[in-house]
Amino acid sequence: MKLTNRSKVVSNKEMTLAEKIYLPAVFKGMGITLKHAVRNIVKGPPIYPYPEVDKPRAEIWRGQHVLKRDEEGRERCTACGLCAVACPAEAITMVAAERTKEEKHLYREEKYAESYEINMLRCIFCGMCEEACPKSAIYLTDRLVDVETNRGSFIYGKDKLVEKINERIDITPRQSDKQKNAVK
């Protein structure tokens, strides 16, 4: 589904002579390889026996998203669509629905996301969606997106995105002061 008109067609500009013969780019690539090879010989390669030992990730690492629940276990997302509009990769789609009286314990707001999908192949993990969310409902986490063997499996729905009720994910280290104050 196309949500915005911000995508642009990139023109194919004429390649320069250096680009046409590829050699400068090849030598540049070999230079980078050589630099790393020398560093590894001198310092020893940084080896992690994954999956037993995970490579340490930076605090600002942005991995797989989570759709948060509130302290009562209700889904925070109100399907306002701001994350989808903010997403530069147009990776987010959703369908909104009205909450019924019987569903008050499931959804925090009167409107909720009946379906919510992120195309992980499109996502560039920029974090704009969490910046845009007025309900502190979506955050990127330090989790890795699973390896898949077909493209369709990278479309993550609510089953993969919504926080499990008994496996809460602490996102407070990621929250800005503004976001912390916004959470009610």
Q: Is 80 helix (H, G, I), strand (E, B) or coil?
A: coil
Which is closer to ligand SF4, CB of 133 or CB of 171?
133
CB 147, CB 114: distance < 8 Å = no
Amino acid type, 93? T
Number of residues that bind ligand SF4 (CB under 6 A): 28
170 exposure class (CB count in 10 Å sphere: 0-12, 13-18, 19+): exposed
Which of 97, 121, 128, 169 is in the footprint of ligand SF4 by CB under 6 A?
Answer: 128
Q: Which residue number, 92 or 171, has a Cβ lying nearer to ligand SF4?
A: 92
DSSP 112-167: EEEEEEEETTT-----HHHHH-TTS-EEE-SPPPPP-SSGGGGEE-HHHHBPBTTB
The amino acid occupying position 51 is: P
Where does residue 76 rank: exposed (0-12), middle (13-18), buried (19+ CB within 10 A)? buried
Give the nearer residue to ligand SF4 in terms of CB position, either 19 or 146.
146
Contact pick of 66, 69, 92, 156 for ligand SF4 (by CB under 6 A):
92
Interface segment toward ligand SF4; rule CB under 6 A; list 7-15, 30-38, 131-139, 147-155: 131-139
- Could you say whether residue 135 binds ligand SF4 (CB under 6 A)? yes
Choices 100-108, 122-130, 155-163, 171-179; region in contact with ligand SF4 by CB under 6 A? 122-130
| CA-wise closest residue to 108 among 82, 74, 135 | 74
Q: Does 78 participate in binding ligand SF4 (rule CB under 6 A)? A: yes
Task: Name the residue nearer to ligand SF4 (CB basis): 39 or 57.
Answer: 57
Contacts with ligand SF4, residue ranges (CB under 6 A): 77-83, 86-89, 91-92, 94, 118, 123-129, 132-133, 135, 137-138, 140
